[in-house]
Structure 1
Amino acid sequence: MRKLIMRMSFTVDGFVGGPNGENDWVFKSSDETSRAAAAEGFREAGLIIMGRKTFEGLSSYWPTASGPFAAPMNEIPKAVFSKSGYKGLSPVPNAEPSPAQASWAAARIFNGDLAKGINELKSEPGKPIYAIGGAGFMRSLVVTGLIDEYRLTTHPVLLGKGQPVFDGLEQPRDLKLVDVKSFPGGIVTRIYHPA
């Protein structure tokens, strides 16, 4: 059974986005070392999963992007989860997709029960599954109790208000700290496993 890893950036006061999802603060404190470490981490993934909103935004950005994240984001297979009966990307008429565009268009789509879809993916052979995305998808993922590792990156900023992820848990979840890495720009990544 392969491992499900949640990767998420947070503010010091626990938000993953501003009130309207703003995340420009993520880039203000990143530095070459933290970006390289994050990109290298993605290379261990065998699958990247996300919610529909994140998928639609990233699928229009990454195929033409450059930088350390472009190759892993475009090459690693993807799966998208939706509650609304999402059909996937529409092909561009009379156009041959680039390999990067084809990778996004080939994403597996899971509509309906999130836990059932996650269990299906975890039961397949392969390298770890990386979960990325917005507050709503991550909140739903946490509630399933199927996350094997939390890679939580704290950025040195306070927003005062915004979008949390860990609100709404019906009961506390104990975690065990297994690693901590700090970077020159003030970013700290903590890795936790369920206790």
Structure 2
Amino acid sequence: MGKVLIHATVTVDGFMADSDGGVDWMFDAESVEADTALVNRVVREIGAVVGGANKTQTIEPGEEPYGGMLKVPVFLMTHSPRGPIEKDGTTYAFLDDLPQAVEQARTAAGEKAVALLGGSISRQCLELGIVDEIQLHVVPILLGRGISLFSGLERPVNLERLETEAFAGGIHLRFRVLQPG
């Protein structure tokens, strides 16, 4: 089975979104072909996605993971599970058990990676010890406040740096999560 990967774009001060949940700042950063090639390489590794569901358990325009460009199964966490939704060739399943969702995503992804999206999902999976790697794209901006990717993590997590690339659009960091014991 493939690895479980936290894949996120963050600011230099560690925010994945502004205080209102907006991510427009991501698209204002300068980038070059090497930035795009690296991000596309990571995206090609992804075979399934686990993230959080919106309050209405719908998939509104603009809410599709990776802008809808990935046609892989998406497992969304909710307190009220329901049947799946098909939209534009992607199946969205709604589950209330995170370890079960990750396991289903791993099965669906086969040898490809499962991407974890969102701070809460990422932190919970780190706490459960089921994250293999973290891939961060650090954009050169300071928001000062916003929604942190890792704030609230209950324990230290040791990482081994696997890759560092720096281009016009920012710094790309890849880490292996070192599991205790």
Report the TM range for the smaller structure's normalisation: 0.7 to 0.9
Identical aligned pairs, as a percentage? 24
What is the aligned partner in structure 1 of residue 176 from structure 2? 193
What is the aligned partner in structure 2 of residue 19 from structure 1? 19
More strand, by proportion: 2
Give the counterpart letter for 2:13 in structure 1.
D
Matches within 5 A, 1:109-128: 109-122=93-106, 125-128=110-113
Task: Report the structure number with the largest CA radius of gyration.
Answer: 1
- C-alpha displacement at 1:71, in angstroms? 7.5
| Structure 1 counterpart of 2:72, from 66, 70, 76 | 76
What is the aligned partner in structure 1 of residue 136 from structure 2? 152
Q: What TM-score, normalized by structure 2, do the two folds share?
A: 0.81
Structure 1 unpaired stretches of 5+: 64-68, 92-100
More helix, by proportion: 1
Structure 2 unpaired stretches of 5+: none
Are the structure 2 counterparts of residues 121 and 188 from structure 1 closer, same or farther at C-alpha, using a change threshold of 3 Å? Answer: same
CA RMSD of aligned residues (A): 2.7
Runs (4+) off by over 6 Å: none
- C-alpha displacement at 1:171, in angstroms? 1.6
Q: Deviations 1:86-129 (Å, cap 9, x if unpaired)?
A: 4443x7xxxxxxxxx3422x23x242220232134335633111
Q: Deviations 1:125-170 (Å, cap 9, x if unpaired)?
A: 33111222x3333333333221101001111011111111212222
Are the structure 2 counterparts of residues 56 and 145 from structure 1 closer, same or farther at C-alpha, using a change threshold of 3 Å? Answer: farther
Question: Take 1:128 and 1:12, find their aligned partners in 2: how far apart are those partners?
Answer: 26
Question: Take 2:124 and 2:61, find their aligned partners in 1: how far apart are those partners?
Answer: 24
What is the aligned partner in structure 2 of residue 103 from structure 1? 89
Are the structure 2 counterparts of residues 72 and 23 from structure 1 closer, same or farther at C-alpha, using a change threshold of 3 Å? Answer: closer
Are the structure 2 counterparts of residues 30 and 86 from structure 1 closer, same or farther at C-alpha, using a change threshold of 3 Å? Answer: farther
Q: What TM-score, normalized by structure 1, do the two folds share?
A: 0.75
